[in-house]
Each structure stands twice: as structure tokens, then as C-alpha cells.
């Protein structure tokens, strides 16, 4: 019998739980809708049922612990979700304590930010294997980030280190969801791509994007912009060029500060890799110090949506060694 860790990705849409062995193989997985609108206790009840569903396929002694990743402000040491954009009204939820209480025996429970978990998943079983100094960016609706220095996650004094989407790349730039102006997230996220597309689509009624959204700008998604760009829409291609350049400005600063071996870029927006990456690399070459810029490989994430689950499992295995 091999050891397994129970890994949880607690998201605003789905609760994903997996049993993962020490080699990084996902032995079983289970997904339940989160249904945030039904309230905290209903969400936690679904989480506990999902953990039970996965763990029942294994002997009790095989389960070495539970790792959980969740977006938001996490008190790492205490395992408390202070607040989360996915769970309005959740304040100081003792998720570690609640999970321990539902388990049949006492095992470690590790809680971290979901972007940190994804970063460790890429280090353990993804694009950053065998690397000790890693910057990981997750480009989605917003931008998440994880920093690994000398093989360890950087959490900072309050567990808030790694908010890479909120470094300032243009003080005169658009307002970010955080309230500040000119954050990287305001230029290189799915939300930013959609915002720029909505601004210009009416000026190009014959364009590919206008056809895809049926003349309704509010229906535009970042995926539509990507598809239009791939189909040759020059306006949409320029959106990705601008996005890529601002991403490069942000990464150049991170390279100068952290001197990483590798920069891993994941998330749904990264699927448009060929549309933006050359512009990103041009900015890095122009703005970062030459030697660290040449050393730092910029690569796509390899593990997709499973990165967070793998990272959560890795936190358990590391804790019991």
C-alpha cells in the first residue's frame, strides 16, 4: 500500500478533491459544484462529502494528510481563510480546524493560497521540475502568482507575498479590481483583454470579433478575442501585443528582483501563448538586467488545472518527511 495525500482545490465554481500518491500520480478525483450562494456551511458540507468520497477508496493508514488551496488572504500557519474573492462574506474561517474535525484520524492539514499551490505543483511535477528559484504567474480572470526561492514558497509576514498581479506597470493605467491604477492585472488578465475588446469592437463592425459576439459587446470573452486573433483579426492581435508587452514589463521587474531560473506562465489566458509571448520576451530583453534575463527561461505551465491539486499534495508530503 502506498501513501497518498488528499488534495483540495476550493474554487468559486467547483470543489475539486484528488488522492495523489508520492510519485505525483492522481489515483482518484472527484468534483462537486461549490454553490457559493447556499452559504458557508453548505459549501463546507460539500467539501467534507467530497473528501469522504475520495478517501473511502483507500485504507485509512494510507492517507497522510490533506492539502488545500483557496484564493484569497490565507493565514498559513493557522489554516484560516481570512477573506476570499470567491466567497463573499467569509471572514476568518478556520478551514484547517474544520477539516481536521471531519477526519477519522489525526493527520496534518495544510492550507495555502491557490496560486502558491499551483506554483508548487509546477515545481514538483510540471514545467519547473528541478528548479529552486521560480516565478509562477497564473493568467485568468485576474492574475495570481507564486514565488519559490531556494525551493521554498515565499509567504511574507502576513502570508500575502506573491500578489504578482498587483505590481504597478503603468501608474497612469486603467483601474484594477483592487482599486489601484496600472496593476499588471489591469493589462494582462482575461478581464483586461475583454475590457479592451469591448472598447474597440463597435469601431470595427465588419471585424471577426463583432461577428463572434453577434454585435453584442457585453457577450465578448477573452476566448472570443483569442479565436478572432487566431483567425487573423488585426485589431484583436494588437490587443494581445499590448497585453504581452505589459506582461513583459512586469516579468522584467520580477527577474531583476528575484533572479529566477524559470518563469512559468499558466492560466486560461496563457492558451493564447503564440499571440503574446514574442512581445513579452522583447520587453524582458529590453528591461531586465542582461545576465538574469538570459538565464530565466519563460515557459508555459505544464499541469493546467491539476497544478493546484499537485501542489497541495506536495505540501503534505513535504510536511511529513
Active site residues: 114
**For residues 188 and 105, what is the distance between their CA atoms, to the nearest angstrom?**
44
Amino acid at each position: 500500500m502506498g501513501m497518498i495525500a488528499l488534495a483540495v482545490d476550493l474554487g468559486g465554481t467547483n470543489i475539486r478533491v484528488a488522492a495523489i500518491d508520492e510519485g505525483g500520480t492522481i489515483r482518484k478525483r472527484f468534483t462537486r459544484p461549490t454553490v457559493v450562494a447556499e452559504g458557508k456551511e453548505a459549501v463546507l458540507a460539500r467539501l467534507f462529502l467530497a473528501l469522504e468520497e475520495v478517501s473511502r477508496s483507500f485504507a485509512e493508514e494510507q492517507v497522510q494528510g490533506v492539502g488545500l488551496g483557496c484564493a484569497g488572504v490565507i493565514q498559513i500557519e493557522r489554516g484560516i481563510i481570512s477573506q476570499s474573492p470567491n466567497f463573499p462574506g467569509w471572514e476568518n474561517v478556520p478551514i484547517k480546524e474544520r477539516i481536521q474535525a471531519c477526519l477519522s484520524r489525526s493527520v496534518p492539514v495544510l492550507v495555502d493560497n491557490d496560486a502558491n499551490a499551483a506554483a508548487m505543483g509546477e515545481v514538483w511535477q510540471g514545467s519547473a521540475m528541478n528548479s529552486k528559484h521560480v516565478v509562477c504567474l497564473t493568467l485568468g480572470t485576474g492574475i495570481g502568482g507564486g514565488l519559490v526561492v531556494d525551493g521554498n514558497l515565499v509567504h511574507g509576514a502576513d502570508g500575502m507575498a506573491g500578489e504578482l498581479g498587483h505590481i504597478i506597470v503603468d501608474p497612469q493605467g486603467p483601474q484594477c479590481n483592487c482599486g489601484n491604477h496600472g496593476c499588471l492585472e489591469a493589462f494582462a488578465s482575461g478581464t483586461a483583454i475583454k475590457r479592451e475588446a469591448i472598447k474597440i469592437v463597435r469601431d470595427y463592425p465588419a471585424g471577426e470579433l463583432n461577428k463572434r459576439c453577434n454585435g453584442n459587446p457585453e457577450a465578448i470573452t477573452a476566448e472570443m478575442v483569442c479565436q478572432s486573433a487566431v483567425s487573423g483579426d488585426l485589431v484583436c492581435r494588437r490587443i494581445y501585443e499590448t497585453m504581452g508587452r505589459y506582461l513583459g514589463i512586469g516579468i522584467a521587474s520580477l527577474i531583476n528582483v528575484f533572479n529566477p531560473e524559470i518563469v512559468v506562465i499558466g492560466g486560461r489566458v496563457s492558451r493564447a501563448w503564440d499571440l503574446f509571448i514574442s512581445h513579452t520576451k522583447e520587453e524582458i530583453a529590453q528591461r531586465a538586467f542582461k545576465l538574469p534575463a538570459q538565464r530565466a527561461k519563460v515557459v508555459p505551465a505544464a499541469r493546467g488545472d491539476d497544478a493546484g491539486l499537485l501542489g497541495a499534495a506536495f505540501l503534505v508530503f513535504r510536511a511529513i518527511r
